[in-house]
Structure 1
Amino acid sequence: MSEATESSPATSRRTLLCGAAAVLAAGGTVTLAGCGSSGDSSAKSSAPKGPVDLGPATDVPVGGGKVFREQKIVVTQPAEGQFKAFSAKCTHAGCVVDQVKKQQIQCPCHGSRFAIADGSVQDGPAPTPLPAYAVTVEGGNLKVTPS
């Protein structure tokens, strides 16, 4: 037996399952979540530091919202002139929410839905509300400060 074989780390269950899912996905379209390893720093994303300028407040419709995917922030406007900001990472599996529709922030991975007014869970499996961020409008632009 070679030394390389003896010193090689064992394949983890998660790596094996993710690899198998990737092979199956090659034949069709499948969305996977949660396949990052716990040691993979790219799978972990922290909230942006300091105020983040997200552009014109007019881009966020009344009774709806807008997902800023790159910043992992979602901003809603439940009533005219009332802006709310939340983490765009679902509290279930960490997927980034993808849209605001029917007055709900929607996660594409497992169907969780959150209220645009306070980020509370409207439909699971998410166990907790989306974390809220401070949001202001300065010079017509949205400024969000993650907690």
Structure 2
Amino acid sequence: MGDDLQSRRAVFASVGVGGLALTLAACGGDTETAQPAATGSSAPEPAASGSGAPAGGGLAKTADIPVGGGTVLKDQKIVVTQPTEGEFKAFSAVCTHKGCAVGSVADGVIVCPCHGSKFAIADGSVTDGPAQQPLPEQQIKVEGDQITLA
């Protein structure tokens, strides 16, 4: 019976270590680092169906972007803003500090929740660090009530 107990302990120990390794691998985290993209570089994928974006590859409807604010489109890794009525801008939603996804747009700034960097909704420039580089602008076009990548 002593050998049986040791065998079971060995099995549980190996499963425990294997399970821990799988857990650690699954939680290994995204090691993406911020790499400022050149304007016009590889465009994000169009919205997947059911993501809330308009049909036809559009990013958003103009009515969905508040004046003086914006909307973070997490799936597309883009933030679309409307600094003044009828003026729409888009920027990468990847913070240039450590590569975190920006989380919100409030009080005229795009906010990264990781370390508190803030960016202007009009031009993506840094308004509060630790980020030192602006968010790269994304080229969009507005046709009617639809905002799409250019």
TM normalised by structure 2 equals: 0.64
Task: Confirm or deny: 8 A CA contact 2:45 2:76 kept in the other structure.
Answer: no
In 1, distance between residues paired with 2:84 and 2:125? 17
Q: Who is 1:106 aligned against? A: 111
- Structure showing greater radius of gyration is 2
CA distance in 1, matches of 2:88, 2:31: 35
Q: What is the 5 A alignment of 1:52-91?
A: 52-91=57-96
- For residues 95-138 of structure 1, the C-alpha deviation after alignment (integer angstroms, 9 at most, x for no partner) is 11010001000000000000000000000111200000112111
Structure in which a larger fraction of residues adopt strand? 1
- The alpha carbon displacement at 1:52 in A equals 5.0
Structure 1 stretches lacking a partner, 5+ long: 1-18, 23-33, 39-45
Residues matched between the structures, number: 107
Match status 1:36 vs 2:30: yes
**Structure 1 residue 140 corresponds to structure 2 residue 141:** no
Unpaired stretches in structure 2, ≥5 consecutive residues: 1-23, 33-41, 47-55
Residue 121 (structure 2) aligns with:
116
Q: How much does 1:139 deviate?
A: 3.0
Shift in Å, 1:80: 0.3
Maintained 8 Å contact 1:85/1:144: no
| Distance verdict in 2 for CA 1:49–1:69, change over 3 Å | closer
RMSD over aligned Cα atoms: 2.3
Residues 1:80 and 1:124: Cα distance change in structure 2 (over 3 Å): same
Shift of 1:36: 3.1
